[in-house]
Structure formats: C-alpha cells, structure tokens
Structure 1
Amino acid sequence: MVRFIFAVAVAPLLFATPLWADGCPTAPDHSDRLDALIAQVQAAGSDAEARDLSNRMWALWADAPDEPSQAMLDQGMSRRSSYDYLGALKAFDRLVDYCPHYAEGYNQRAFVNYLRHDFAAALPDLDKAIELSPKHVAAIAGRALTLLGLNRIDEARAELDRALALNPWLSERGLAAPGGPLAPPGEDI
C-alpha cells in the first residue's frame, strides 16, 4: 500500500520534467522568446540597442536545464574567463556528458578550443550546438570564425552571412566589410 501511494505521488513529478536517459532534464524551450529577440535585433536602430538584445539572447542560451548543469556551465565559464582553459574544458566535458542535448555545453567547449587555436576540435562542437539550436547566432558566428581559422574562407563567409542574417549587429560584421578577410569576392580594397 505504501509503495502504491508513493508511486501515485511521485509519478506525476517524473513526467512533469522530462529526463533524457543521461539524467539531465530537457533544456528550457526558449524558441519563441529567441525568435522575438532576433526579430527585434534585426530592426534595432543602434549598436547599444542591439547589444542589449544580444545580451538577452545570451541569457536564454545560458539557461541550463537544471541546477547541476547550471553549476557546470558557470564553473566552465568562470575558468575560461580566468584563462584556465584546461579546467574549463573539463567542466564543459562534464556538462556535455551529463546534458548531451543542451547546445550551450557544446558551444562553450568549442569557444575554449577556439581560444586555444584548436579549430579542428571546435568545429564538431559548433556543428552539434547548431544542430540542437539552429538559431544560436553566437554558435553560427563562432563557426564562421573557426572556419576562418582553418582557412576555409568560402565556408566561413557563408556562415558569417548566415549569422548576420539573424543579427546584423554582430561585432564580427567587420570581417565581411570591404577589406575584411570575409568580404565578398571583388570587394577588397
């Protein structure tokens, strides 16, 4: 009888927050809010307005599925900020192992590898982040930078164009300006 009462009481809680086989709950669905922010940044009238909207996008991407995953994300970002790249990689490895369906774990691990100039290691993580979050503007821009680091200029240009279509105010837009390394062919100085 006690088991039955426990099962009846606990069952709704188990189904209220879906868990992946790895134990990590599903990441919060911020797609509607992200779409609204993208529309707003495309219509932004100033760099300051766009920067505020971009920061709001980052808040959505950095909203981890649960407290343990948030702690891993925060630890990795803190270690990265203090140039402890190996410590950051370990934190992001744990995050990706725990939450393989959370895009930001892959994006942050890719960023650390990008900072280490290990572009070949960054690229698969960026691909996975974009697969999980197709409008992750920062991951798309990061993929453009990574492809540039690999000297895959045409692919980098296409990725940057894709990122700029979502957010025309990205700081990376200068790379596509005349004279920039990703300027359209024939528009060099």
Structure 2
Amino acid sequence: MIGKWLEISTLRAGQLFAVLLLCIAAVSVGARADTSNDDLFEALKNAPNEKEARLIETEIWEAWIDAAPTPELREQVESAMRMRGEYNYQGAREVLDKVVAEAPEYPEGWNQRAFILFLQGDYEASLADIKRVLELEPRHFGALSGQAMIYITQGRAELAQKTLRDAVNVHPYLKERALLIKPKGVDL
C-alpha cells in the first residue's frame, strides 16, 4: 500500500512540476513579447540614421499588425488596408467597425479606422479613435502624427506642434518631422 501511495505521489509531483514549468515558460514568453516592442522602440530612438530607422519602423508596424488577437482579425485589418489602397473607404470602415467591436484592446484596429475616418473627413471621430489608440499604445507614432495632421487641418497649430514633438520623441526620423516649426534659439 505504501509503495502504491509513493508511486501516486511521485506521479502527482511530477505532473505538478511539469505544470509549473509550463507556467514559468508561458510567463517568460509573455514577458519577452511585452519587451520585444520595448527593444524595437529603444532601437528606433537610437537609430544612427534614417535608413536604419525606416527598417525598425517597418518592424514596429508589423508587430502592431501582428498583435491582432486572432489570424482572422489580422486578415480583416489587412483587407481593410487593401480597400483603403483602392479608395474604398466605406468598405474599409465597415470592416474596421467590426474589428474594433470584436477586439477593443487591439490598438491597430483603432488606428486603421482612425486613418479611414481622417480620409473621410470625419476628424472628430478620427481623434476619438486616436485617443483610444494612444490609451492602448502611447508610443504609437502613426497615431500621434495623424493626430497632429488633424490639428493642422483644424488650424490648431500649437497643439499640432506639441503632438508632433511627442511623435518625434518616439520616432526621431518620423517623416512628418519636417512640419515642426523651429523655436527661436533652438536647434532641432
């Protein structure tokens, strides 16, 4: 009887150990996933030149799109982006409405819809979506530069400049940096 109990105890201990190892591995992978974007943003901020920055920027955009909770949602976002490229803004918006309803914690769904809303001239709705993007990913230089473009369009120059500076703080080689107004006595 004692031998059987030891056999069962050893089996359970082994199973518990295996489960514990799986949990540790899952936490470790999750931590790496969370910090991988941190590493990319650090590399972007310290990029030695514009060419390197563009390569890192591309990796960040891919990571944002890849963060879709399901492959189906990723495909929907990519489909909406293709529609946008074909000037089918309404079709893209309908797809992205579904994406943000199904995955409200997915920043890129909101960002892509904000871009469509901007293209449709619905600036207030676009700003609302951008606000959500920045709540989920404060370093989203695409959302920040989009927000600045809306502020410029609305004649809100001071706010546009502040937002552009925030974006350039994240991405020093951001294309829209050319729109920054150099303050007197300050080198940019």
User: TM-score category by the smaller chain?
Assistant: 0.7 to 0.9
Q: Residues 2-151 of structure 1 correspond to what in structure 2 (within 5 A)?
A: 30-63=33-66, 64-151=68-155
TM-score (norm 1): 0.76
Which residue identity does 1:32 align to in structure 2?
A: T
RMSD of equivalent CA atoms: 2.1
Greater per-residue helix proportion: 2
Deviation at 1:158, TM superposition (A): 0.8
In 2: Cα distance, 1:122 partner to 1:90 partner: 14
Contact kept in structure 2, 1:119 and 1:149, CA below 8 Å: no
Q: 1:184 Cα shift?
A: 4.3
Determine the C-alpha separation between the residues in 2 that align with 1:55 and 1:88.
Answer: 22
Task: Give, as a single letter, the amino acid of the residue that structure 1 aligns with 2:72.
Answer: P
**Counterpart Cα distance in 1 of 2:172 and 2:129:** 24
Amino acid at match of 2:177: R
Distance in 1 between the 2:153 and 2:129 partners?
Answer: 15
Please give the TM-score of this superposition, normalised by the length of structure 2. Answer: 0.77
Instruction: Quote the Cα distance in structure 2 between the aligned partners of 1:149 and 1:186.
Output: 24
User: Aligned equivalents of 1:118 and 1:186: distance in 2?
Assistant: 35
Check conservation: 1:120, 1:150, Cα contact below 8 A: no
Higher-Rg member (1/2): 2
Tell me the matched-pair count. 156
- The percent of aligned pairs where both chains have the same amino acid is 32
Is the CA contact 1:79–1:88 (under 8 Å) kept in the aligned structure 2?
Answer: yes
The alpha carbon displacement at 1:84 in A equals 0.4
Which consecutive residues of structure 2, in runs of 5 or more, have no partner in the other structure? 1-18, 24-30
| In 2, Cα distance between equivalents of 1:34 and 1:144 | 23
What secondary structure is seen at the aligned counterpart in 2 of 1:62? helix
Contact 1:41–1:54, Cα closer than 8 Å, also in 2: yes
Partner of 1:3: none
Moved more, 152-161 or 166-175: 152-161
Residues 139 and 29 of structure 1: is their aligned pair in 2 closer, same or farther, counting only changes over 3 Å?
Answer: farther
**Is the Cα–Cα contact under 8 Å of residues 106 and 128 in structure 1 kept in the other structure?**
yes
